[in-house]
Chain A
């Protein structure tokens, strides 16, 4: 794969990768007993992504996705980019002001974005920064008061930020914290009944945030949780291996929301994965969708605003990928695009 990557021009490279992953898709469908073809289609959206990197933090505000920091295989990065979902173009924005890092979290609260925690190559980190798109400026906010960590999860809802789980350098964590941007303070939240973990995902549907996947001590977690933002309480949902044909458990995946369905895509389970699963909150059930049309990846980024979703910028082994694809969950699969 690496050989092909080196010797081909980018356009050919993309075709080769698509062909290779199509082959994988075909192989995967042969091994399935299902007769019905999965719905969902991916459209190649950007010739390049802004930078091939992995472990970048990301958030979406309106129709603009933001992605920054990360690791390019040699260096930890501070550069920060925006992606205009409507115009399909990137801009390099104000550099992230903290230490270069990867495995940081990104989330948005109202019209501001936040990036914090992570790993700088030596230490886990606890500092957090807010980004104001209106002025293209960063401001350091109150540092996370508990154990510094990487590969945590974070989400913003109802005007607050929530941050939890992750790896502190010695142990995986299961604590959750709330950030109040009005007072610039952190408070621990109680009531999460799940296990400690790192590299989990969340997605938000209406007033609920769903959290699951991740790994701890080599064990992939199969529990799945809903966080009610109104009451700040957690409810356990059906396990991610509830049905025999589910293959949802994984780590380093991405979670996103589109048309009020939740999605878990890419990630790793033994090897890196291409598969994507759709969650229907009304029935608490999962359905497999067309796999990501590229080489499988972990530590990808996703931009989604419930109306559109774009996924890209992960890695496969040491090969850093640099493309972005838009996902159309209800289009028939078309291998021509």
Chain B
């Protein structure tokens, strides 16, 4: 009798553990593995970027976000840092909205004034 009870408890513990680790594993897996990448392109007086999921364009940014007017990035590096920031946000399942403070942090010179 005692042995059967022990077996039941053991089974319950094992299943409980399996269940927990299973759900932990899933809950913990917040990093998305979407095949996202960026492409920097040249426009007439600067650079833009696009964010692609495999071959599909999700975001095409010919001009610096947030700023009024049509001002491209001055350097390809500026465009690339910004594109990488968007990808990192998407991979963390955050909204791809860029804010002024993020662009300042990325040292995009146009945001030095803010």
Q: Which residues of A contact B (CB under 8 A)?
A: 6-11, 46-48, 50-53, 72, 77, 79, 84, 87-95, 135-138, 322
A136 touching B27 in the complex, CB below 8 Å, given contacts A9-B32, A89-B57, A92-B61: no
Contact B93 A10 (CB under 8 A): yes
Chain B residues in 8 Å Cβ range of A6: 27, 30
Contact A11 B69 (CB under 8 A): no
- Give the nearest-CB partner of B70 in chain A: A136
- Give the nearest-CB partner of B99 in chain A: A79
Contact A94 B90 (CB under 8 A): no
Contact B62 A48 (CB under 8 A): no
| In the assembled complex, B66 has its CB within 8 A of some CB on chain A | yes
Chain B residues in 8 Å Cβ range of A89: 50, 57-60
Interface 0/1 of B65-82, CB less than 8 Å to A? 111111000000000000
Contact A10 B32 (CB under 8 A): yes
CB < 8 Å neighbour of B61 from A52, A91, A322:
A91
Instruction: Classify the interface of chain A: helix, strand, loop or mixed.
Output: loop
A79 touching B33 in the complex, CB below 8 Å, given contacts A8-B26, A84-B60, A89-B60: no
Contact A136 B68 (CB under 8 A): yes
CB < 8 Å neighbour of B90 from A11, A48, A137:
A48
Size band of the interface chain B makes with A: 20 to 34
Q: Provide the bound-state CA to CA distance between A9 and B96, in Å.
A: 16
Question: Chain B nearest CB: distance from A99 CB in Å?
Answer: 16
Contact A94 B67 (CB under 8 A): yes
| In the assembled complex, B44 has its CB within 8 A of some CB on chain A | no
Chain A residues in 8 Å Cβ range of B50: 89
Chain A residues in 8 Å Cβ range of B12: none
Having A7-B29, A50-B96, A50-B97, one finds 7 other A-B pairs with CB under 8 Å, namely A50-B59, A89-B57, A91-B63, A92-B65, A93-B65, A94-B67, A94-B69
Question: Chain A nearest CB: distance from B71 CB in Å?
Answer: 9
